[in-house]
Amino acid sequence: KTLMVIVALVVIGLITGGGLFTYYALSAPKISQEDLQGQVASKIYDRDGQLIKSLGGQNRDRMKEEEIPPVLKDAVLAIEDNRFYHHHGVDFIRIMGALVANLKAGSIQQGGSTITQQLVKLSVFSTKFEDQTLERKAQEAWLAIQMEKKLSKDQILTYYLNKLFYSNNVYGAKTAAKVFFGKDLADITLAEAALLAGIPQAPTQYDPYAFPDQAKKRRDLVLQVMLDRQVISQSAYQEAINTPLESSLQPLDDQTL
Q: For 231, what's the count of Cα atoms within 13 Å in the CB-facing half-sphere?
A: 21
If you write DSSP's letter for every residue of 144-176 in order, what string do you get?
HHHHHHHS-HHHHHHHHHHH-B-STTEESHHHH
Instruction: Report residue 1's pLDDT band, with 50, 70 and 90 as the boundaries.
Output: low
Q: Are strands 59-60 and 170-171 parallel, antiparallel or unpaired?
A: parallel
Q: Would you say residue 55 has pLDDT above 50?
A: no
Beta bridge partners, 55, equal 42
Q: Would you say residue 251 has pLDDT above 50?
A: yes
* N-to-C CA span, the chain: 68
pLDDT in tens, 185-233: 999 999 999 999 999 999 999 999 999 999 999 999 999 999 999 999 9
Residue-averaged pLDDT of the chain: 84
Higher pLDDT, 35 or 146: 146
Conformational region of residue 186, where left means phi above 0, alpha means psi within -120 to 50, and beta covers everything else: alpha
Phi, psi of 213 (to 5 degrees): -65, -45
Beta bridge partners, 44, equal 53
Contact 138, 132 (CB under 8 A): no
- CB atoms inside a 10 Å sphere around CB 27: 10
Give pTM, 2 decimals. Answer: 0.82
What DSSP state is assigned to residue 199? G
